[in-house]
Amino acid sequence: MNLIASVDRNWAIGYQGKLLVRIPSDMKQFREKTTGKVIVLGRKTLMTFPGEQPLPNRTNIILSRNPDFRVKGALTAASTEALFEMLKAYPSEDVFVIGGESAYAALADHCDTAYLTRLDYAYSADAYFPDLSRYPEWRMTEESEEMTCFDIEYRFEIWKKHIN
Summarised one tens digit per residue, pLDDT across range 107-141 is 999 999 999 999 999 999 999 999 999 999 999 99
Please tell me what DSSP assigns to residue 30. H
Work out the average pLDDT over 79-103: 97
From CA 33, how far away is CA 30, in angstroms rounded? Answer: 5
Instruction: Return the CATH fold of 2-161.
Output: Dihydrofolate Reductase, subunit A (3.40.430)
Whether this prediction's pTM lies above 0.85 is answered by yes
Distance of CA 125 to the CA centre of its chain: 16
From CA 39, how far away is CA 3, in angstroms rounded? Answer: 10
Q: Is the pLDDT of residue 16 over 70?
A: yes
Tell me the β-bridge partners of 61: 40, 75
Work out the average pLDDT over 75-84: 96
From CA 40, how far away is CA 60, in angstroms rounded? Answer: 6
